[in-house]
Amino acid sequence: MGRRKMQITQEAIVIRERSIGEDDRLLTLLCRQEGVITAYARGAQKMKSTLGPSCGLLAYSTFQLFHSRERYIVDRADTINLFFGLRQDIEKLALASYLAEVACVTAPSGQDSEAFLRLLLNCLHFLEKGAFAPVFIKPVFELRCLAMSGFMPDLVACCGCGCYEAEKMYLAVNDGTLWCGECVSGPEAKYMALTPGVLAAMRHVIYSELPKLFSFRLSDEGIRYLGRVCEAYFLAQMGQGFQTLDFYHSLSGMEAWAAANLPDRAKEILTKGGEDI
């Protein structure tokens, strides 16, 4: 008796790809209903393959998949959006690749991932069209993905005294707890100071509805510091570095910063103190 195959149709975006031999590709897809799955695209690297464009990194397509014994095989793919504009700007493409990797490690498998897919598609659209600066999109995406995947920081109030705001507030990047200047204790290196504006922005990102996600404003300096805080917290929770992030930093005028942090950035972040801005 032959193996039973089930055909399903999924809207999905390619968040990772690698070559298998000379002709095939192994895709990691972020699907609307099935979350993160792995699928084989046979012949996708052939010159005349109809799958080629729809199976490239960041391609958003409607996939017809055969599912058999925990394996997905791409039967057909119809392109919805290739985000071609991102491929014309190396810095935007580098950040888009990093966002895809963030989605890959935070979105669930085998369950509805509508929220993750919408967030990634919206951020790629904003990045492609220049609606928001890359330095603004990156921390919002990192923090929101963490919040949706079970790593939401506790930013309601100080864990010690319960105060909502104080002259000085600190985030413990190892566990996402919030502390005021009176209650903070232990090694100062594990905390990052939060200005009132940055704290308000982080609260907005994790608690607001998706359509209002980018509806806040910070100074340029505040946005840069928000980026530092969100990246430090993200890396601490993931416990690993990301080559796509290193490459993005190398293109965004931060070569020295990236070089200093490449060996073990997550560990460095946990032993590096924040500063007031």
Say if residue 265's pLDDT is above 60.
no
pLDDT greater than 70 at residue 231? yes
pLDDT band for position 274 (50/70/90)? very low
The domains found in the chain, sorted by start residue, are 1-126 (2.40.50.140), 132-270 (1.20.1440)
**pLDDT score at 4:** 56
Q: What is the mean pLDDT of residues 266-273?
A: 39
Residues with Cβ < 8 Å from 75, sequence gap 6 or more?
A: 7, 64, 65, 66
Q: Residue 98: is its pLDDT beyond 90?
A: yes
b/e string for 225-254 if b means 16 or more Cβ within 10 A? Answer: bbbbbbbbbbbbbbeebbebbbbbbbbbee
Q: Give this prediction's pTM.
A: 0.87
Closest by Cα among 234, 242, 240, 202 to 218: 202
Listed in sequence order, the residues at least 6 apart from 21 whose beta carbon sits closer than 8 Å to its beta carbon are none
130 alpha-carbon distance from chain centroid: 18
